[in-house]
Each structure stands twice: as structure tokens, then as C-alpha cells.
Amino acid sequence: MNYEKLLKNELLKSYGCTEPIALAYAAARISSLLNEDLEQMQLFCSSNIIKNVNSVVIPNTNYKKGIEVAAAIGYIVKKYEDKLELLKNVKDEDIEQIDDLCKKITVNLEVGVPNLFIKIIAYTKNNKAQIIIVNEHTNIAYLSLNDKLLIDTYKNSVEEEYRLDFDDIYTYCKLANLDNVKDLLKEQYELNYKIAQEGIKNNYGANIGKLMLSSTKNESLAYACAGSDARMSGSALSVMIVSGSGNQGICASVPVYLHAKKINASEDELIKALAFSNLITLYLKSKIEKLSAYCGVVSAASAAICAIAMLDKQDKKVIERCLINSLAISSGIFCDGAKASCAAKIASALNSAFLAYEQAKSNNNFNFNDGIIKNNLQNTVDAICNVARYGMAQTDVVILEQMLKKDKQ
């Protein structure tokens, strides 16, 4: 496995939550193609796209939320070449157009498609365009203008499954020269710590980070939550994602960075630990689709605590047991979309991960065959991935049904 290439593919900058941005990106690409005033737009989205766009604040829109808003602002801005950071280009006059454009947009649930799926059909006075995004947030699998094909790879589009191995990742992060990814990993902790500081300083969402800082005094945990507070509530700061998620990127990097500072670890030790945290996150997500009913911060929190154990110079067996313990405790957290409460789920997952670490250090581990804990790490990860990917598929449907049942004020 080329881990250097994997890190460069997965650690990407995003300005806002990735699912609304994927919608905005698709609409921006269509807009640049049509280059006319919109008359009608039809959105066809998978349940996970609808779930993750429904309640999160979209940056630079005066705190607006919603699927129509994401598509409308993308169509207005057009700057699709900036990919996941395209909403940096929003101007005040753009915001004024959003509400009128939203009236021209209809949203439909598309079933029987991959979990990350967006199709847009847009009409102007003279033209019609269609786009499909699938599996990756900026992966255009189909594009047409007036029924003339420009891109058509949809039938061959599958979400890439990385064949990752814990032992191999551990050896790579301990022994490999990471100079070629050092700047990328430094940028990750710098960006993600910056948004964490923003969440501590100002009021965002439910202020989970501030509450955790005052109640637990655990900076690593509190700042990770604060980063999510800010990001889910419209902060105008970019983050570095991993596995398609900014919350996972924050959770996998901020606690590791702060722990390294606390123990005066060297820069080389920090870089190795950050590489380990990101790669273990990807390892844990490698058999689960990027979007699912399984909360991704469980993977990132479990990975982060393993990286903290590496910084503490724990041996490999302790790190393995730490990972198994953490997954055993937290794997039941489900995803009900991107929103303010994601910060609290980070708090829960990291709290459990810190407990798992204390268990591993003191040899108070869960026993094999307790629940779905298997006789080794790989078999345990496989079992959890099977539950997440296949067992929770119907859970995803029920979650969306409940989300779409709006209670009256």
C-alpha cells in the first residue's frame, strides 16, 4: 500500500461540511456549463446526502441551512474549480439571491443508489444540463449538456476499498521517512486547531467544547469538540478532512496535536503520530462506505487515542488492545446527519477512547467473544464493519424517516 499517496488523496481542505459542499459543487459545475439564469432544478439525492445536509449551517449564507440552499449558492457562485472550498467565493450580493433561487429547486429521494449520490437536472430558457456525483464528494461520474455526453463513467464508478492492515500501518508510521507528507500533516493540525480555537473563543451550536473544557479540564477532548461546534454552525474557516469528513479530520488530529504539545514531543514524533491517527481512521472506515448510519467519529476517536498511546511510547500490544476496547464501547453511536450535536458525539467517542486507553494500560481489557469482540484485532474490525455496513442499512432508512417527520413548534 502506498500510504503517502493515500494520505495525499484523503487529507483535503474543505470549507464547510462536505455533503452540502458536494451539492454546491455539483450545482456550480452545472451553472458554469449552462451560464444562464436558472428556471428549474431537480435534485435527486441518496438518503445519506439528505440526512447530512438537512440540519447543518452552510458557511457564508447568513446561517442558512438546507438542501435547496446548498444547491442554490453553488449555482450562484459557479467556482467549481475550487472544489470543496468553493464557498470561499460567496459575496454579499450572492446571499440576497438564495431565497428566490430556492423556490426553483425541488428535492427528491433517490433509492437503490450508493450512499453518496447526487443527481441534478437543471433547465434554463435555452438549455438543459445533468450531472451525477457518486462515491466521492467531487467525483463527477456523469455530465451532459442538451443530452450531449461530456462525461459518462457512472456504470464503472465504485467506492474504492483500501486493503489496509494494522501491523503494516504501525510499521510504516514507526519506521518510514514521512518528509513527503510532513507539510500536509502540519497543515492538518494547524487548520483544525485553528477552528478548534474559534469554537472555544466564540458561541457556536451548543458550545460542547466550552462545556467539556470547564467540566473535564481535558484540552484534547474539549478542543476537538469545539472545532466541530464551529464547523457545524457555519464558521468561515477551512478544515482538513479525512475519509471525506471534517469532523473526523478534526477528531483525528486536534487531540493528537494537543497531547504532543503537553508532553513536549518532538515534531518527528508528532508527524508520525498524526500519520498513524489518519491511517488508522482510514483502516477502520475501509470496509464501510464514507456515508452510513455508523457515526464516523467513532473511528477517528479510536484512531486518535491509538496515536496518543504511540506518543506515550506504549508498546504495540497496548495500542491494539486500546483500539479493540474503544471500538467495543463506542460502536453503537449512530449518525443522524451533520449538525450541532456532532460535537457531543465527538465528546462521547473520545471519552470512551480515553477510558479504553486506561483499560489497555492497566490490562483491564474486555475479553474475546464478549459481544462482537473477536480473537484478534482484524477479526474484531471486520465484525464491526459488517454490522455498520450491512446491519445498519435499515437503521439508516428509519433515521431518515424520523428526521423528515418535522415536529410543530
Percent of the chain beyond pLDDT 90?
Answer: 83
Average pLDDT, the chain: 93
- The yes-or-no verdict on residue 160 having pLDDT over 80 is no
Average the pLDDT over 243-252 and give the result. Answer: 96
Cell numbers at 75, concatenated: 449555482
- Which pTM was predicted? 0.94
Return d(Cα 409, Cα 397) in angstroms, integer.
25
Average the pLDDT over 229-242 and give the result. Answer: 94
Q: What is the pLDDT of residue 2?
A: 94
Return d(Cα 243, Cα 285) in angstroms, integer.
7
- The yes-or-no verdict on residue 102 having pLDDT over 90 is yes
Q: What is the pLDDT of residue 217?
A: 73
Instruction: Report the DSSP beta bridge partners of residue 143.
Output: 131, 151
Q: What is the pLDDT of residue 287?
A: 83
Question: pLDDT for 258-296, tens place per residue?
Answer: 999 999 999 999 999 999 999 999 999 988 878 888 999
Following CA atoms 185, 187, 192, 197 in sequence, which dihedral angle do they give, to the nearest 10 degrees? Answer: 130
Following CA atoms 102, 105, 108, 110 in sequence, which dihedral angle do they give, to the nearest 10 degrees? Answer: -110
Q: What is the pLDDT of residue 36?
A: 92
Cell numbers at 77, concatenated: 457562485
Question: pLDDT for 170-197, tens place per residue?
Answer: 999 999 999 999 999 999 999 999 999 9
In terms of Cα–Cα distance, which of 24, 70, 67, 73 is closest to 47? 67
Pick the range with the lowest mean pLDDT from 24-28, 110-114, 215-219: 215-219
- The yes-or-no verdict on residue 141 having pLDDT over 90 is yes
Quote the crossing angle between the two packed helices 316-330 and 166-175, to the nearest 10°. 130
* Comparison of pLDDT for 138 and 156, the residue scoring more: 138
Average the pLDDT over 191-212 and give the result. Answer: 95
Pick the range with the lowest mean pLDDT from 185-199, 223-237, 285-299, 312-326: 285-299
What band does 408 get if pLDDT is binned at 50, 70 and 90?
low
- The yes-or-no verdict on residue 406 having pLDDT over 80 is no
Q: What is the pLDDT of residue 159?
A: 67
CA angle 48, 51, 57 (to 5 degrees): 125
What band does 24 get if pLDDT is binned at 50, 70 and 90?
very high
How many H-runs (helices) and E-runs (strands) does the chain carry?
17, 8
